[in-house]
Protein backbone atom coordinates (compact mmCIF):
# COMPACT_ATOMS: atom_id res chain seq x y z
CA UNK A 1 0.00 0.00 0.00
CA UNK A 2 1.31 3.41 -1.02
CA UNK A 3 0.58 7.01 -0.05
CA UNK A 4 1.38 10.17 -1.98
CA UNK A 5 0.77 13.73 -0.87
CA UNK A 6 1.12 16.79 -3.05
CA UNK A 7 0.05 20.40 -3.11
CA UNK A 8 -0.73 22.64 -6.08
CA UNK A 9 -2.10 26.07 -6.98
CA UNK A 10 -5.62 26.26 -8.33
CA UNK A 11 -6.08 27.95 -11.72
CA UNK A 12 -9.86 27.91 -11.41
CA UNK A 13 -11.47 31.36 -11.67
CA UNK A 14 -13.40 32.27 -8.52
CA UNK A 15 -16.77 32.33 -10.25
CA UNK A 16 -16.26 28.77 -11.57
CA UNK A 17 -15.05 27.24 -8.31
CA UNK A 18 -18.21 25.40 -7.31
CA UNK A 19 -18.78 23.92 -10.72
CA UNK A 20 -15.16 22.89 -11.28
CA UNK A 21 -14.71 21.41 -7.81
CA UNK A 22 -17.81 19.31 -8.36
CA UNK A 23 -16.44 18.15 -11.72
CA UNK A 24 -13.10 17.17 -10.19
CA UNK A 25 -14.76 15.23 -7.38
CA UNK A 26 -17.13 13.40 -9.71
CA UNK A 27 -14.18 12.31 -11.87
CA UNK A 28 -12.17 11.37 -8.79
CA UNK A 29 -14.95 9.30 -7.23
CA UNK A 30 -15.49 7.25 -10.37
CA UNK A 31 -11.87 6.46 -11.06
CA UNK A 32 -10.86 6.01 -7.45
CA UNK A 33 -13.71 3.65 -6.71
CA UNK A 34 -12.84 1.52 -9.71
CA UNK A 35 -9.16 1.39 -8.68
CA UNK A 36 -9.55 1.17 -4.92
CA UNK A 37 -7.89 4.54 -4.34
CA UNK A 38 -8.84 6.51 -1.24
CA UNK A 39 -7.76 9.83 0.18
CA UNK A 40 -8.59 13.42 0.81
CA UNK A 41 -8.63 16.58 -1.24
CA UNK A 42 -8.23 19.85 0.63
CA UNK A 43 -8.91 23.22 -0.94
CA UNK A 44 -8.04 26.50 0.73
CA UNK A 45 -6.68 29.94 -0.15
CA UNK A 46 -6.19 28.96 -3.78
CA UNK A 47 -4.24 25.82 -2.91
CA UNK A 48 -5.07 22.17 -3.32
CA UNK A 49 -3.53 19.49 -1.16
CA UNK A 50 -4.33 15.88 -1.88
CA UNK A 51 -3.48 12.58 -0.25
CA UNK A 52 -3.82 9.53 -2.50
CA UNK A 53 -3.65 6.02 -1.03
CA UNK A 54 -3.77 2.68 -2.80
CA UNK A 55 -1.79 0.30 -4.91
CA UNK A 56 1.45 2.09 -5.91
CA UNK A 57 0.94 1.57 -9.67
CA UNK A 58 -2.62 2.93 -9.54
CA UNK A 59 -1.62 5.94 -7.43
CA UNK A 60 1.29 6.74 -9.75
CA UNK A 61 -0.93 6.33 -12.80
CA UNK A 62 -3.58 8.77 -11.59
CA UNK A 63 -0.96 11.18 -10.26
CA UNK A 64 0.54 11.44 -13.75
CA UNK A 65 -2.89 12.46 -15.07
CA UNK A 66 -3.52 14.83 -12.16
CA UNK A 67 -0.15 16.53 -12.71
CA UNK A 68 -1.16 17.43 -16.27
CA UNK A 69 -4.58 18.75 -15.31
CA UNK A 70 -4.93 22.42 -16.35
CA UNK A 71 -7.20 23.18 -13.38
CA UNK A 72 -4.10 23.56 -11.24
CA UNK A 73 -0.37 24.28 -11.57
CA UNK A 74 2.88 24.01 -9.59
CA UNK A 75 2.00 20.45 -8.64
CA UNK A 76 4.59 19.64 -5.96
CA UNK A 77 5.04 16.24 -4.31
CA UNK A 78 5.33 16.59 -0.54
CA UNK A 79 6.11 12.98 0.22
CA UNK A 80 5.50 9.40 -0.81
CA UNK A 81 5.73 6.35 1.41
CA UNK A 82 4.79 2.72 1.78
CA UNK A 83 2.02 2.34 4.34
CA UNK A 84 0.56 -0.59 6.25
CA UNK A 85 -2.91 0.83 6.46
CA UNK A 86 -4.96 3.56 4.80
CA UNK A 87 -5.63 6.73 6.76
CA UNK A 88 -8.65 7.74 4.65
CA UNK A 89 -9.96 4.24 3.93
CA UNK A 90 -13.57 5.30 4.25
CA UNK A 91 -13.43 7.77 1.38
CA UNK A 92 -12.94 7.43 -2.37
CA UNK A 93 -11.99 11.07 -2.01
CA UNK A 94 -13.04 13.05 0.98
CA UNK A 95 -13.22 16.77 0.36
CA UNK A 96 -12.51 19.51 2.87
CA UNK A 97 -12.78 23.12 1.92
CA UNK A 98 -10.99 25.49 4.23
CA UNK A 99 -13.32 27.14 6.66
CA UNK A 100 -12.66 28.91 9.95
CA UNK A 101 -11.91 25.69 11.88
CA UNK A 102 -9.17 24.63 9.49
CA UNK A 103 -7.73 28.14 9.43
CA UNK A 104 -7.74 28.26 13.21
CA UNK A 105 -5.90 24.94 13.37
CA UNK A 106 -3.22 26.21 10.97
CA UNK A 107 -2.88 29.37 13.06
CA UNK A 108 -2.35 27.24 16.16
CA UNK A 109 0.50 25.53 14.30
CA UNK A 110 1.98 28.99 13.76
CA UNK A 111 0.88 29.71 10.19
CA UNK A 112 -1.27 32.45 8.70
CA UNK A 113 -3.11 29.90 6.61
CA UNK A 114 -2.22 27.06 4.29
CA UNK A 115 1.43 27.72 3.47
CA UNK A 116 2.66 24.51 1.82
CA UNK A 117 6.32 25.48 1.69
CA UNK A 118 6.50 26.10 5.41
CA UNK A 119 4.81 22.88 6.46
CA UNK A 120 7.17 20.31 7.96
CA UNK A 121 6.33 16.63 7.82
CA UNK A 122 5.21 16.83 11.43
CA UNK A 123 2.89 19.78 10.73
CA UNK A 124 1.51 18.06 7.70
CA UNK A 125 0.76 14.86 9.61
CA UNK A 126 -0.98 16.86 12.33
CA UNK A 127 -3.00 18.72 9.72
CA UNK A 128 -4.00 15.47 7.97
CA UNK A 129 -5.09 14.01 11.31
CA UNK A 130 -7.16 17.13 11.87
CA UNK A 131 -8.72 16.85 8.40
CA UNK A 132 -9.50 13.19 9.09
CA UNK A 133 -11.46 14.21 12.17
CA UNK A 134 -13.28 16.87 10.12
CA UNK A 135 -14.13 14.25 7.48
CA UNK A 136 -15.28 11.77 10.10
CA UNK A 137 -17.80 14.23 11.43
CA UNK A 138 -19.40 14.41 7.99
CA UNK A 139 -21.52 11.82 6.26
CA UNK A 140 -19.84 9.89 3.48
CA UNK A 141 -21.42 11.94 0.72
CA UNK A 142 -19.55 14.98 -0.52
CA UNK A 143 -21.05 18.35 0.07
CA UNK A 144 -19.73 21.48 -1.49
CA UNK A 145 -21.16 24.71 -0.29
CA UNK A 146 -19.96 28.23 -1.01
CA UNK A 147 -17.44 29.31 1.64
**Site of interaction with ligand FMN (CB under 6 A):** 24, 27-28, 31-32, 41, 48, 50, 62, 65-66, 69, 71-72, 93
Residue 11 CB, nearest approach to ligand FMN (Å): 9
Residue 125 CB, nearest approach to ligand FMN (Å): 20
Residue 108 CB, nearest approach to ligand FMN (Å): 26
Nearer to ligand FMN, 40 or 106 (CB): 40
54, 2 Cβ separation under 8 angstroms = yes
Nearer to ligand FMN, 33 or 107 (CB): 33
Nearer to ligand FMN, 17 or 69 (CB): 69
Nearer to ligand FMN, 31 or 111 (CB): 31
Task: Tell me which residue has its CB nearest to ligand FMN.
Answer: 31
Amino acid sequence: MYRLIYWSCSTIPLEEELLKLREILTEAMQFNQAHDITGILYFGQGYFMQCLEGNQKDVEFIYEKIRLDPRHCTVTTMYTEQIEKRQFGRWQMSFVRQKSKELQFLKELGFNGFEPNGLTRNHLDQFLDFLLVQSSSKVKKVEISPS
